Amino acid sequence: MDFKRRQGPGPGVPPKRARGGLWDEDEPSQFEENLALLEEIEAENRLQEAEEELQLPPQGPAGGQFSTADIDPRWKRPALCALDPNTEPLIFQQLEIDHYVGSAVPLPGGPPTSCNSVPILRAFGVTDEGFSVCCHIHGFAPYFYTPAPPGFGAEHLSDLQRELSTAISRDQRGGKELSGPAVLAIELCSRESMFGYHGHGPSPFLRITLALPRLVAPARRLLEQGIRVPGLGTPSFAPYEANVDFEIRFMVDADIVGCNWLELPAGKYVWRTEKKATQCQLEVDVLWSDVISHPPEGQWQRIAPLRVLSFDIECAGRKGIFPEPERDPVIQICSLGLRWGEPEPFLRLALTLRPCAPILGAKVQSYEREEDLLQAWPNFILAMDPDVITGYNIQNFDLPYLISRAQTLKVDRFPFLGRVTGLRSNIRDSSFQSRQVGRRDSKVVSMVGRVQMDMLQVLLREHKLRSYTLNAVSFHFLGEQKEDVQHSIITDLQNGNEQTRRRLAVYCLRDAFLPLRLLERLMVLVNNVEMARVTGVPLGYLLSRGQQVKVVSQLLRQAMRQGLLMPVVKTEGGEDYTGATVIEPLKGYYDVPIATLDFSSLYPSIMMAHNLCYTTLLRPGAAQKLGLKPDEFIKTPTGDEFVKSSVRKGLLPQILENLLSARKRAKAELAQETDPLRRQVLDGRQLALKVSANSVYGFTGAEVGKLPCLEISQSVTGFGRQMIEKTKQLVESKYTLENGYNANAKVVYGDTDSVMCRFGVSSVAEAMSLGREAANWVSSHFPSPIRLEFEKVYFPYLLISKKRYAGLLFSSQPDTHDRMDCKGLEAVRRDNCPLVANLVTSSLRRILVDRDPDGAVAHAKDVISDLLCNRIDISQLVITKELTRAAADYAGKQAHVELAERMRKRDPGSAPSLGDRVPYVIIGAAKGVAAYMKSEDPLFVLEHSLPIDTQYYLGQQLAKPLLRIFEPILGEGRAESVLLRGDHTRCKTVLTSKVGGLLAFTKRRNCCIGCRSVINHQGAVCEFCQPRESELYQKEVSHLNALEERFSRLWTQCQRCQGSLHEDVICTSRDCPIFYMRKKVRKDLEDQERLLQRFGPPGPEAW
């Protein structure tokens, strides 16, 4: 669905073509042949299964039909075998946990079932055999704590319960679900606040249990305002753990973590065979106290055979208008299904509007009415019953469009896409904001029981890329490209014949296949499953919530074991603190090995070594009041005080120790494991453990968070600064000539958790040896578990400034470098045009790999000359920036924002919208015109031959990056004169624009092709050049042939990319440099053919 990525207008038909046409019947493409191969492999291994009649429960008025004959038996889950709840346990891996309010059911050993409004938890999952499960978990009620006021005793419990329950009922007068008392119980217990070291142990707390989760917020508010307690007045109560989600509360108490395996013992659960509430094969009820949770270790680390569905849709848009669900039809829905653990999709389905020619390796189902097409897809979803649904931009486009379109056509049975019978899938707006990504608005489609993994949202959150189109990310991660089709061409293909609709279906299938490949290649599912297990939160939380809920879950689990409670802290964003230390770099080009020493897990190890935690924090003056001895607490570099582990071991250090030791075990198992699937799980687990450990520090420093603590976060960075400075002093004091070493060591740079050392040796092997020795020696000066490790050697090394350096990286073999490593340079940044990254990379390669700085200077001068002479392809000059908000919300004028507004006026259908990355180039204009007024769409520039402002690219894009690289080599003053001035900058070529400016008032006149003099006739040459006309004609024909050959090569390359050498190229991928080259050559071909026409037809003498 490429108009979702807002590509530009189509490339058009080439001026000359050898064979094939847009509407010709075509041979199978490479992608189709791959699909056919999958079908053959399946056919060889297929077990003969009897086709069973599909039972679809009624969910509304009848719509289109997806009949039994259309369902391949292999698409459905395995037939459910007999299960005896009295003798057989039920074991399944849960994927999603939520709750609803319903009626209690009779259960073995359960409470009375008279109440009609009780909270019921619902766990969806899959068994080892592939059966889908919905487990209704009963008997768990929401609760929170508050400190008992002075003088409060057991005799006050009933009075407080009555007063609070009455106050809540009065506050919730409109609530229909509340049929009994709001407060179920209030109990006295002994607990301790985790915030601060108090020295007096547990104190009296009240545990308040409520009837429904939604009553926690009003109960908390009313208690904070004050509740009358006979004999005690109207005290105010401070809430503890009143901001914990109901699902997290249950999972913590039941010791359940995300995506782990649950066991329901025989005789403890009831199997619903009638009055089922979901579409799951197994639907059971159980008491929460009877659920057995298996920790994800050993055999319980496995992942069930989950069903993953990837899909894509195509819509027929109108020319110049982005598709609207109220008017534009859905014409195709393509789906691919994968059973996790199998190498290839087992299901390939194309649903099309109007007849479509067969596709090798895929089932094609065509419909004459759009209503039937729309009804067929949810029926297919019910038949396949996926656990995970993926795709590209399905969250903001495909799913909302399908639901809105079905609503427009009154296909009432469509929006039941989840697993709960009769529960509609609704669309709601969502917004996410953080310092890293700014604000992102999106849509959320509810689909209870199924996990949505939109690959676009995953990539936006986890990877920084220049472009996020499906084509760009597929090339980046998979090394594959696909054709991008502009939406007006999609309509033409739909209105063609069966063959054109077949081509569109193959294109749509590929758009559904690539997200599935990305999901596997990036291990998105495995990594998220392991992160859910490590942090203890449901899988869906990882995809829709921020970072804090993961730390809160771990904190609550550790606190519960020690009788500690988490307070509710009101935060408004406060003071900041000094960050990590950066040792001033000694800039230069080092043609000697530079050893890099790195602190392993620096911030977690500081917190463990110094026992930094909420529970160990001493308030100002508390050490004296509590009578602590000087050796029982520490004062951090920032002046904050914490008790030592001998007095009390902190919660956070315990959590970090568990995480890091678990990671060590996972890495050891990974080194021994040979099974590829198990290796994936272990690798995902060790990565999740690493990320979780590092996020604990960030949780304490979040200005607006669940439990911010500036004293911890600033103390951590304070110790970090101290350690970096101490490491520098230790290295430079030990490795000296006086101590028998070859040279005086020098720390040339240090940043956050690493230092770069020059030991004065000439070989990489010597630098590695000294680096390991220094790491061990420095580590001995720090408390455990702080450890400095040798990480790598750079040779040679180019140190430009703080956080900007490059070098050849050696990590294991002293004779062979691993790669060229760049940090903070334009070679790895995405806010410049590709020319900058390419030139910086090629220059660094000549400096570092070839050891040829003079050759790098010559190469940079050649590229600058090509730029000024207009010999650089426009694809190298395209700058892309994200449109994050409306034009009025920007403080100043921005080039990409102004261009988006101009494009919207020219063609609303292809104009960028919020969240899109806008490609643009800077064109020539009158002197003094601001740069934001000179931004233009690259295609518009090509079509109208607008001149590029090469001076802008030289001065604003290339100059600073090049000077940063070459100043350490050439010197600050000389670098600018050598690179930016000289003979290579004196020759310039400027294109003549065909639109705008004074051209509207000028008249074009013909010039002689030979001498360029003005002529008054329509011929090609003047009378003086007439004798040379044949020679000039041959010259221009040769130029035409060269252009045709170049265009043919580009055209063939695009055909190979799209998978067929017999179809027209309709790709409009702006992320591909070939696209711009093809457009440019096509424009040059048209101009050259017009020029040749001026010679007229060949005369009789030519024959």
Mean pLDDT over 144-152 rounds to: 94
pLDDT of res. 914: 66
Chain mean pLDDT for the chain: 85
pLDDT of res. 991: 63
State whether 956 and 1039 are in the same domain. Answer: no
Question: Binding site for [4Fe-4S] cluster: residue ranges?
Answer: 1054, 1057, 1067, 1072
Mean pLDDT over 854-858 rounds to: 93
Q: Cα–Cα distance between 786 and 780 in angstroms, integer?
A: 9
Q: Is the pLDDT of residue 7 over 60?
A: no
Residues making up the chain, counted from first to last: 1103
- Pair 846, 965: CB distance under 8 Å: no
Give residue 155's pLDDT band: very low, low, confident or very high (50, 70, 90): very high
pLDDT of res. 1093: 86
Cross-strand partners of 269: 286
Q: Is the pLDDT of residue 400 over 90?
A: yes
- Of the two residues 30 and 393, the one the predictor is more confident about is 393
pLDDT of res. 62: 33
Residue 1037 domain-assigned (yes or no): yes
State whether 759 and 893 are in the same domain. Answer: no
Least confident of 403-417, 647-661, 663-677: 663-677
**CATH number for the domain that contains residue 693:** 3.90.1600.10
Phi, psi angles (nearest 5°) of residue 665: -65, -40
**CATH number for the domain that contains residue 458:** 3.30.420.10
Q: Is the pLDDT of residue 61 over 50?
A: no
Q: Is the pLDDT of residue 579 over 60?
A: no
Q: What SS3 state is found at 781? A: coil
Q: Is the pLDDT of residue 175 over 70?
A: no
Q: Cα–Cα distance between 364 and 368 in angstroms, integer?
A: 13
pTM (2 decimals)?
A: 0.82
- Round to the nearest angstrom and report the end-to-end CA distance of the chain: 53
Highest-pLDDT range among 390-394, 1059-1063, 1083-1087:
390-394
Q: Cα–Cα distance between 844 and 805 in angstroms, integer?
A: 11
Mean pLDDT over 940-955 rounds to: 88
The HSE-up count of residue 896 (CA atoms within 13 Å, CB side) is 21
**CATH number for the domain that contains residue 853:** 1.10.132.60
Mean pLDDT over 554-564 rounds to: 94
Tokens for 736, please give them: 């000296």
Give residue 56's pLDDT band: very low, low, confident or very high (50, 70, 90): very low
Which ranges of 627-709 does DSSP label H, i.e. alpha helix? 651-672, 676-701
The HSE-up count of residue 171 (CA atoms within 13 Å, CB side) is 18
State whether 454 and 391 are in the same domain. Answer: yes
- Of the two residues 390 and 572, the one the predictor is more confident about is 390
pLDDT of res. 975: 87
Highest-pLDDT range among 369-383, 935-949, 975-989:
369-383
Q: Is the pLDDT of residue 123 over 90?
A: yes
pLDDT of res. 595: 95
- Pair 535, 501: CB distance under 8 Å: no
pLDDT tens-digit series, residues 911-931: 776 667 788 999 988 887 888
Say how many C-beta atoms besides its own lie within 10 A of residue 1031's C-beta. 10
Phi, psi angles (nearest 5°) of residue 569: -110, 130
Q: Is 342 exposed, middle or buried (0-12, 13-18, 19+ CB in 10 A)?
A: exposed
Residue 830 domain-assigned (yes or no): no
How do 307-315 and 330-339 pair as beta strands? Answer: antiparallel
Residue 529 domain-assigned (yes or no): no
Say how many C-beta atoms besides its own lie within 10 A of residue 695's C-beta. 17
pLDDT tens-digit series, residues 604-636: 999 999 999 999 999 998 899 999 999 999 999
Residue 631 domain-assigned (yes or no): yes
pLDDT of res. 432: 62
Q: Is 626 exposed, middle or buried (0-12, 13-18, 19+ CB in 10 A)?
A: middle
Question: Binding site: residue ranges?
Answer: 1008, 1011, 1022, 1025, 1054, 1057, 1067, 1072
Per the structure, the count of domains in the chain is 6
- Pair 540, 445: CB distance under 8 Å: no
Domain edge (last residue) among 522, 556, 588? 522
pLDDT of res. 31: 66
Residue 963 domain-assigned (yes or no): yes
Please choose, from the candidates 1023, 970, 995, 691, the residue with its C-alpha nearest in 3D space to the C-alpha of residue 856. 970
Q: Cα–Cα distance between 214 and 35 in angstroms, integer?
A: 50
- Pair 1077, 1050: CB distance under 8 Å: yes
pLDDT tens-digit series, residues 1024-1047: 888 888 888 888 889 888 888 888
pLDDT of res. 564: 95
pLDDT of res. 599: 92
Give residue 1's pLDDT band: very low, low, confident or very high (50, 70, 90): very low
Least confident of 61-65, 752-756, 823-827, 837-841: 61-65
Residue 835 domain-assigned (yes or no): no
- Of the two residues 20 and 282, the one the predictor is more confident about is 282
pLDDT tens-digit series, residues 419-449: 999 999 998 887 665 555 555 677 889 999 9
State whether 350 and 450 are in the same domain. Answer: yes
Mean pLDDT over 866-873 rounds to: 89
Question: How far from 703 is each of 570, 573, 631, 692, CA to CA, in Å?
Answer: 11, 5, 32, 19
Q: What SS3 state is found at 848? A: helix
pLDDT tens-digit series, residues 191-209: 999 999 988 889 999 999 9
Q: Is the pLDDT of residue 8 over 50?
A: no
Residue 364 domain-assigned (yes or no): yes
Please choose, from the candidates 779, 457, 401, 375, the residue with its C-alpha nearest in 3D space to the C-alpha of residue 609. 779
pLDDT of res. 1023: 85
**CATH number for the domain that contains residue 87:** 2.40.50.730
State whether 807 and 917 are in the same domain. Answer: no
Q: Is the pLDDT of residue 855 over 50?
A: yes
pLDDT of res. 633: 93
> What is the span of the domain harbouring residue 401?
2-71+309-522
Say what percent of the chain tops pLDDT 70.
85
Mean pLDDT over 992-1012 rounds to: 67
Write the DSSP string, 218-239.
HHHHHHHH---BTTTBS-----
State whether 89 and 65 are in the same domain. Answer: no
State whether 123 and 166 are in the same domain. Answer: no
pLDDT of res. 440: 65
Q: Is the pLDDT of residue 21 over 50?
A: no
State whether 914 and 784 are in the same domain. Answer: no
Least confident of 465-469, 483-487, 551-555, 871-875: 483-487
Residue 495 domain-assigned (yes or no): yes
Question: Binding site for Zn(2+): residue ranges?
Answer: 1008, 1011, 1022, 1025
Q: Is the pLDDT of residue 157 over 50?
A: yes
pLDDT tens-digit series, residues 310-341: 999 999 977 767 788 999 999 999 999 999 98
State whether 336 and 414 are in the same domain. Answer: yes
* Rg (the chain; Cα; Å): 34
Q: Cα–Cα distance between 198 and 218 in angstroms, integer?
A: 30
State whether 865 and 741 are in the same domain. Answer: no
Least confident of 143-157, 719-733, 794-808, 993-1007: 993-1007
Q: Cα–Cα distance between 65 and 87 in angstroms, integer?
A: 41
Q: Which residues contact 452 (CB under 8 A, 6 or more apart)?
A: 388, 389, 390, 394, 395, 399, 445, 543
Tokens for 1043, please give them: 């252009």
Domain edge (last residue) among 301, 332, 361? 301
Q: Which residues contact 230 (CB under 8 A, 6 or more apart)?
A: 156, 159
State whether 1031 and 1048 are in the same domain. Answer: yes
pLDDT of res. 829: 61
State whether 419 and 517 are in the same domain. Answer: yes
Q: Is 856 exposed, middle or buried (0-12, 13-18, 19+ CB in 10 A)?
A: buried
pLDDT of res. 895: 86
How do 617-618 and 183-193 pair as beta strands? Answer: unpaired
pLDDT of res. 830: 64
pLDDT tens-digit series, residues 441-491: 778 899 999 999 999 999 988 888 878 888 889 888 888 877 677 666 888
Domain edge (last residue) among 821, 854, 875? 821
pLDDT tens-digit series, residues 708-756: 899 999 999 999 999 999 999 999 999 999 999 989 999 999 888 889 9
Phi, psi angles (nearest 5°) of residue 1011: -110, 0
